[in-house]
Structure formats: structure tokens, C-alpha cells
Amino acid sequence: MTVPFGDRLAAKVAATGSALCVGIDPRGPFPDAVLRGLSDTRSGRARAVERYCQGLIEAVAPHCCAIKPQVALFELYGGYGLTALDAVCATAREHGLLIIADAKRGDIASTAAAYAEAWIGIRPGEHEPLADAVTINAYMGPDTVEPFLEVADRHGAGLFILARTSNPGARELEEQELAAGGEVWERVAGWIDGWSAGRTGTSGLSSVGAVIGATAPAVVRTARDLMPQSPLLLPGVGAQGGRIADLAPAFEQHPAGGLVVAARSVIEAWREDDGDWMTAVAEAARQHTRQIDAIR
């Protein structure tokens, strides 16, 4: 029987002692060692992305519990990029890390089902899903989530549903007041809490989580109250201005209740360091984990 994502997340955080999720956002320029011997073509660039991300995973694996590859930065290179993403996810699996595909998909009916099967289902010719969980967008309405829930339930996968995101423009829609009271994002949080019911395993943690921007610390408190069983995926730490110290409410219900996402502040740490690039990345991940430990 497949172990539900919430229980796997809880076990992984307990085993690693880390609630850090490293965002794998491969933006150039890349280290010279990654580029060596490659052509300046789309296939060559995709191969550079693959090498870079595999090096990142090797560096951060001892200090985190999960990675979150940004799918768009692989899709940029077409089929070559998607092949690279497959290889990167395989490397993460070899290192025992959970994989959250940051795809932010959202559609209805058979289209949504196809997206779900692509990211958290068993693709034709494969034996396991590409990712353990996927980010999705419910702002077209709750019917866009139902196909993802069906596939996730079947494969023990997780969903992280956008609620209050980390971008500055979130307040233009997500924080708008509703005529019935509350804000738009809080209505979505209510949906998420409903979907969490019945999807909570023995750990007490649901397989249906929410994306809550670390750039809005007051929202983290409200989100935990509205969705007590849902893991909160918390992007925006570091380059976007979010502070780890503000995220303690996420962990009040469970030591794996929050996944703190750090991308540029970890994976680009080498750009400010004259030493080995992977050593700089590893040290940045280690420091982030220590800061998270201090609040949970």
C-alpha cells in the first residue's frame, strides 16, 4: 500500500532533521565547470542545466528534506529540458529527497487529469511518478482541483495549492475583501482545509497543503489557523525578502507543518564566493537549516 504524502513528508523531516526545501531554479550564468565541453546550442544548454542541478542536489542533500524544481526553467529548452528534468529528479531520488514539481497547473476535466498524471501519476513506460507532489492553481475554481485529488489519492501523492503567494501583486487579488467577509485567499484556504479532511495519515499531516508566501508573515499565522492539518509550502525566503524567523506559526501543529523554500539564497551562494561552488551551496543550505531548526 502506498504511504500517503503527508506521512512521507513527516517521516522525511524527522529522518533528516530538516524542514528546508531547496528551490531548483537553474538560471545562468553557470559555473565554468558545468559548461566545460558543451556547445552553445539548446541541447548544450539543457545539458548544462542538468549538470548544474545535479551538482546542486549533491551539495544540498545532507541539509534538506526536499527539492522544488521550477518546471518552467526546464521547459524553456523544449524536449531537451524535459529530459534534463527527468535526470535531475532521478538524482534527487538517488539522494532520498522528496520532489515537489513547481508546475502551478490548473485546468478542468481531462486536461487537468492529464497534467496530474504527467507530474504525480505513472507516465506511460514508467514505474513511479516523476514527483512526490505538485503545485497547482485553484483560482479557476474548485472543480479544477478535483482531477488532481483523484490522481493524488490513487498514487499517494501530495498537492500544494496556491493560496496567498509571495509575489507583491498577490494583494491585488488574493487579499481583496469578499462581500460575505474575509479575503479571497482565505476562501481558497477554506477549500484546502476541506480537501485536507480524510487525507490525513497516521502522522497527523495531510497530503493536501497550501502555498503561503514567506513574504507576508501575518498571513502565515492566519493560514495555520485556517488549515491546521495542511503542510504549508513557504516560498520567498532570502532574495524575495521573506525571513525564516517570521515562519514559526507554520510549525505549531507539527514539526513538518512547514516547508521553508530557499532558492537563490542557497543555489546561487557560490556567486559571492571564490571557492568551490558546490561547497558554497552546501554551506548556505546548512545555515538555512540551522535557522529553521531555531523556530520549530
pLDDT digits (tens, 9 = 90+) for 75-108: 999 999 999 999 999 999 999 999 999 999 999 9
Residue 127: per-residue pLDDT = 82
Share of the chain above pLDDT 70, in %: 100
Q: What are the pLDDT digits (tens) for 42-70?
A: 999 999 999 999 999 999 999 999 999 99
**Residue-level pLDDT at 267:** 97
Instruction: Tell me which amino acid residue 63 is.
Output: H
Residue 58, number of CB atoms within 10 A of its CB: 15
Q: What is the distance between the alpha carbons of residues 7 and 97, in angstroms, rounded to a whole number?
A: 14
CB 223 within 8 A of CB 196: no
Return the number of other C-beta atoms located less than 10 Å from residue 260's C-beta: 29
Domains of the chain with bracketed CATH:
5-293 (3.20.20.70)
- Residue 23 is predicted with a pLDDT of 98
The residues assigned a catalytic role are 104
Could you tell me which of 194, 239, 230 has the C-alpha nearest to residue 212? 230
Q: What is the spatial distance between Cα 35 and Cα 269, in angstroms, rounded to a whole number?
A: 18
Around Cβ 49, how many Cβ atoms within 10 Å? 26
pTM over 0.85: yes
The pLDDT value recorded for residue 2 is: 83
**Low-confidence residues of the chain: pLDDT under 70:** 1
Q: Helix or strand or coil: residue 25? A: coil
74 neighbors 49 (Cβ within 8 angstroms): yes
